[in-house]
């Protein structure tokens, strides 16, 4: 394994030196990305003005509940949206090029070579009637690698990187376990040593042990090959020790973005705080937890002020009417009026509402 990995590392560094506009320029820059779904009753905004940067070799995690727009955002970044979803505004700049303005023909050489995607369910993302090796070969041929020996060599290399024996190039997806399929997908994403790999909940179908092992492996590959990762998950605890920065999304918006450790230790937004407090721990004293009462708002019926206000234990009068901007809090930014100088809660103290454990209809 060590022999092959050194080869790959050299290719990456060569490329990084030759192609990139600047050594420290972000590999991905998303500015004000807005994605809408066209429905019979008019457009519905699923992603509302997300700003995000990913630096070379960085691991950025995006967390949020189902329906918060995290996967839609990811698809928007990868230019994989199909009607009724469309990008209604904003910029996606990858290696200095704007992806939003490109058509499929212009995107094709970038896809998989520079930017690859690992989908949530490898079971559905791999072709069930084709051998793993054939699927790798397809991908490589599509990008102009015709030499059979070269295809085999590279396929074996990437499979070795994720710790799968090369005999599985002859296997069909159903012959591999869930964890192996997911690793085979990641190996496929590594065929061309891309600068950025987008991962949409790659571990959520796996067991804790397999999950942890896959995360360790992704991290190790990242150290070895130097690619950046944009990782979407609903499980905040999963990325707590793996991501460099963390973006928390709620109701289509970015509510907090900062260094992972900072967000975990001192969450600036009540929603991040609520999410963190909803995790029971397997160590330390047992404390009663409450979770977050209520449910996220429907996309077509957003609260006029802060979108989290109806569920927020810290909410006060201003939150109902004033739309919060993103405020700088230490090194992070948070979309909460508590951090705004102009809309402080009455008497200087936030009112903490009593949180009950019931569903109010």
Partner 1 sequence: MSTPILEARGLTRVFRVGGFLNRHDLHAVDDASFAIGGSEILALVGESGSGKSTIARLLAQVYTPSAGEILFEGTPLTKLRSRADQMRYRAAVPMVFQDPFSSLNQSYPVSHGIERGLKLHRSDLDAEGRRSEAERVMEAVGMRPASEALRKYPYELSGGQRQRVGFAQALAYKPKVILADEPVSMLDISVRIGLLNLMAKLRDEDHVSLLYITHDIASARYIADRMMVMYAGHVVESGPVDEVLQSPQHPYTQLLVAAVPDPRAMPTMTAEQAAGEPPKVIDPKPGCRFADRCPLAKEVCRTTTPPLLELQPRHEVACHVAADRVGRGAESEELGRAADLVGSAA
* 2 makes contact with partner 1 (CB under 8 A): no
Burial of 340 (0-12, 13-18, 19+ CB in 10 A): middle
* Closer Cβ to partner 1, 34 or 311, answer by number: 311
Q: By CB under 8 A, which span of 103-111, 153-161, 230-238, 251-259 interacts with partner 1?
A: 230-238
* 279 makes contact with partner 1 (CB under 8 A): yes
* 274 makes contact with partner 1 (CB under 8 A): yes
* 167 makes contact with partner 1 (CB under 8 A): no
Binding pattern to partner 1, positions 60-89, x when CB under 8 A? -----xx-----------------------
Name 247's Cβ contacts closer than 8 Å, sequence gap at least 6: 50, 52, 60, 61, 62, 63, 254, 256, 257
* 361 makes contact with partner 1 (CB under 8 A): yes
Burial of 339 (0-12, 13-18, 19+ CB in 10 A): buried
Q: How far is the CB of 255 from partner 1 (least distance, A)?
A: 13
CA separation for the pair 294, 203 (Å, rounded):
27
Tokens for 186? 């990641």
Beta-strand pair 332-334/327-329 = antiparallel
* 96 makes contact with partner 1 (CB under 8 A): no
DSSP of 188-227: HHTTT--SEEEEESTTTTS-HHHHHHHHHHHHHHHHHH--
The 3-state DSSP class for residue 334 equals strand
Per-position b or e across 141-151, b if 16+ CB within 10 A of its CB: eeeeeeeeeeb
> Of 83, 128, 280, 341, which one interacts with partner 1 (CB under 8 A)?
280
Q: By CB under 8 A, which span of 11-19, 42-50, 70-78, 277-285 interacts with partner 1?
A: 277-285
**Ranges within 182-211 binding partner 1 (CB under 8 A):** 207-211
* 359 makes contact with partner 1 (CB under 8 A): yes
> Of 61, 292, 315, 336, which one interacts with partner 1 (CB under 8 A)?
292
Tokens for 309? 């206000």
Q: How far is the CB of 136 from partner 1 (least distance, A)?
A: 22
Residues contributing to the site for partner 1 (CB under 8 A): 65-66, 163, 177-180, 207-213, 216-217, 220, 234-238, 240-241, 264, 274-276, 278-284, 286, 288-293, 295, 357-361
């Amino acid at each position: 394994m060590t022999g092959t990995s050194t080869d790959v590392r050299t290719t990456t560094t060569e490329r990084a030196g030759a192609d990139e506009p600047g050594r420290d320029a972000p590999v991905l820059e998303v500015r004000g990305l807005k994605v809408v779904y066209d429905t019979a009753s008019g457009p519905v905004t699923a992603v509302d003005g997300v700003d995000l940067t990913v630096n070379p070799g960085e691991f950025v995690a995006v967390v949020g509940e189902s329906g918060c727009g995290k996967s839609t955002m990811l698809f928007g970044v990868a230019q994989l949206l199909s009607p009724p979803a469309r990008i209604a505004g904003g910029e996606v700049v990858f290696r200095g090029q704007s992806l939003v303005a490109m058509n499929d023909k212009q995107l094709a050489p970038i896809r998989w070579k520079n930017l690859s995607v690992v989908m949530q369910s490898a079971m559905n993302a791999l072709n069930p009637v084709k051998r793993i090796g054939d699927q790798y070969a397809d991908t490589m041929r599509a990008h102009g690698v015709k030499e059979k020996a070269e295809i085999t060599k590279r396929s074996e290399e990437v499979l070795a990187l994720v710790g799968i024996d090369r005999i599985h190039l002859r296997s069909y997806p159903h012959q591999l376990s869930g964890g192996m399929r997911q690793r085979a997908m990641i190996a496929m994403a590594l065929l061309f040593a891309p600068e950025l790999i987008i991962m949409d909940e790659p571990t959520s179908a796996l067991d804790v042990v397999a999950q942890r092992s896959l995360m360790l492996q992704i991290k190790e590959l990242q150290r070895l090959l130097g690619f950046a990762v944009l990782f979407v998950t609903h499980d905040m605890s999963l990325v707590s020790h793996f991501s460099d920065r963390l973006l928390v999304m709620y109701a289509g918006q970015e509510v907090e973005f900062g260094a992972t450790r900072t967000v975990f230790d001192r969450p600036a937004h009540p929603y991040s705080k609520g999410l963190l407090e909803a995790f029971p721990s397997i160590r330390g004293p047992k404390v009663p937890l409450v979770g977050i009462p209520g449910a996220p708002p429907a996309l077509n019926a957003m609260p006029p002020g802060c979108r989290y206000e109806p569920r927020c234990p810290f909410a006060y009068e201003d939150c109902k009417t004033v739309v919060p901007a993103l405020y700088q809090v230490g090194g992070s930014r948070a979309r909460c009026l508590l951090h705004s100088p102009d809309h402080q809660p009455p008497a200087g103290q936030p009112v903490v509402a009593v949180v009950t454990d019931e569903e109010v209809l």
